[in-house]
Structure 1
Amino acid sequence: MNLSDLLTAAKLHARVDHDEDDPDMLLMLAAAAGDVAHAAEYTLPALAADLPADLKLAIIDQAAMLFDARAQDTERPVGLSLAAARIVARYRGVRLCLPPPAAE
């Protein structure tokens, strides 16, 4: 998915003023998109413009969290940001995990 369409919004959300941080922010957006899509059990479209607005916000907020944590330990933060977690919960829904029917 082309995430460059979300770059400006992500930089504003993360309060990043410098253009030299663009490659880092694009990496954070890619990681965030994967995190959010996996947690929401959602297949990402080819274009960021085709994403629902709430998932765009979840990706942007997750990228901001990852960008803020980039100078900490060498390990990546575990889990989603608070906003992203609440948004993706609506996409997961409820699923019953029943055993397959027995063969006769």
Structure 2
Amino acid sequence: MNISALLPAAKLHARVDFPDEDDGLLLMLAAAAGDVADAAEYTLPEDAGDLPDDLKLAIIDQAAMLFDARGGSTDRPVGLSLAASRIVARYRGVAI
């Protein structure tokens, strides 16, 4: 999926205003898209513009959480951000 369309919104959400952070944030967006799609059991479209708005927000918020946790003592935060987990729950529904 071409995630670069979400970069401007992700930079605003994570309050990143340095252009030299774009490559790292794109990687975090790609990881976040995978996390959210897997948790929501949703197949990602080829273009990020085709995503529902709430899933876009979930991906952006997850990427912001990953960005905030960069350089920490652990490898990677476990689980989804609070906003992403609430949004994803609507897509999962109840499974028996």
Q: TM-score, structure 1 length as denominator?
A: 0.91
Residue 69 of structure 2 aligns to a residue in which SS? helix
Query: Any unmatched runs of 5+ in structure 1?
Result: 97-104
Backbone CA RMSD of aligned residues: 0.6
| Cα shift at 1:74 | 4.1
CA–CA separation in structure 1 for the residues paired with 2:81 and 2:89: 12
Q: Which amino acid aligns with 2:90?
A: R
* Partner of residue 27, structure 2: 27
How many residue pairs get aligned? The number is 96
**Runs of 4+ residues over 3 Å off in structure 1:** none
What SS class does the counterpart of residue 43 from structure 1 fall into?
coil
The sequence identity of aligned pairs, in percent, is 77
Equivalent position amino acid for 2:70 in 1 = R
1:85 Cα deviation (Å)? Answer: 0.3
Q: How far is the alpha carbon of 1:75 from its aligned partner?
A: 1.0
What is the distance in 1 between the residues matched to 2:95 and 2:74? 36
What do residues 59-86 of structure 1 show as CA deviations (whole Å, max 9, x unaligned)? 0000000000002024100000000000
Larger deviation, residues 71-80 vs 81-90: 71-80
The structure whose Rg is larger is: 1
TM-score relative to the length of structure 2: 0.98
Q: 1:94 to 1:8 in 2, by over 3 A?
A: same
